[in-house]
Amino acid sequence: MREIVFDTETTGLDPQSGDRLVEIGCIEMLNRVPTGAVFHAYFNPERSMPAEAEAVHGLSSAFLADKPRFAERADELLAFLGEAPLVAHNAGFDFGFLNAELAMCELPPVDRGRMVDTVAIARRKHPGAKLSLDALCSRYGIDRSHRVRHGALLDAELLAQLYVELMGGRQIGLELAAEVEIKAAVVAVPVRTSSSRTPRPARPHAPNAEEQARHAAFVEAIKDAIWLQ
């Protein structure tokens, strides 16, 4: 099954208040294994970058000034997403910004029925635990030492690893390996048809006269046999 794990960076928390999407990173997965195909883009938000948002992701207005506007790459992004389920951490936030940008381009929104929220999955598996990406990476032993600041593609890469762990982790790999081994074993065993075997002659099992006489003598010599009582 094809899935897309993605993350976004924005100018703030609310697209309805004028905040914009400034970065998106998407990782393609097939049967929960990254294929190596990615979509990554920065966007000019056509507004200033608040200092508190820049402190989170490090994307300044100067850096984004020469980047394309979302509308310029919207078709390319949608083609990459296709019809696959979309996996995100606190997915409602990312879907809200993605669909707000699509609306400004007069494009239809992405169906929220495709949304897979790893926060909701983690909450069911670990009720009461911390559910941030950092906390969950620590819980599952995912290396995030290179994550100095938030970045859409980097966070999507970490999330792809986390998603696999939340959905069964290394057991998935073990199951696939076992399946491959079984298939290999089946292929390796030669198929033998009935025509390739030489029938074995029947072995005689009936006692001969001498054996019958000896058996009768043995039974006769048994004292107080229970079958005579």
DSSP string, 129-164: S--SHHHHHHHTT---TT-SS--HHHHHHHHHHHHH
Question: Does the active-site annotation cover 150?
Answer: yes
End-to-end CA distance of the chain: 75
pLDDT of residue 227: 63
Sign of CA dihedral 147, 152, 155, 160: negative
Fold of 2-170: Nucleotidyltransferase; domain 5 (3.30.420)
pLDDT score, position 191:
39
The confidence score (pLDDT) of residue 221 equals 81
What pLDDT was estimated at residue 215? 76
What pLDDT, on the 0 to 100 scale, is given for residue 180?
A: 41
pTM over 0.75: no
∠ CA 91-126-6, nearest 5°, is 25
List, for residues 104-137, the tens digit of each pLDDT value. 999 999 999 999 999 999 999 999 999 999 999 9
* Of 57, 150, 205, 215, catalytic: 150
Q: Tell me, what's the pLDDT at 199? A: 62
Domain layout of the chain by residue ranges: 2-170
135: left (phi over 0), alpha (psi -120 to 50) or beta: alpha
Residues in the chain predicted with pLDDT less than 50, given as ranges, are 172-195
Please give the Cα distance from 194 to 168 (Å, whole number): 44
Structure tokens at 226: 């229970």
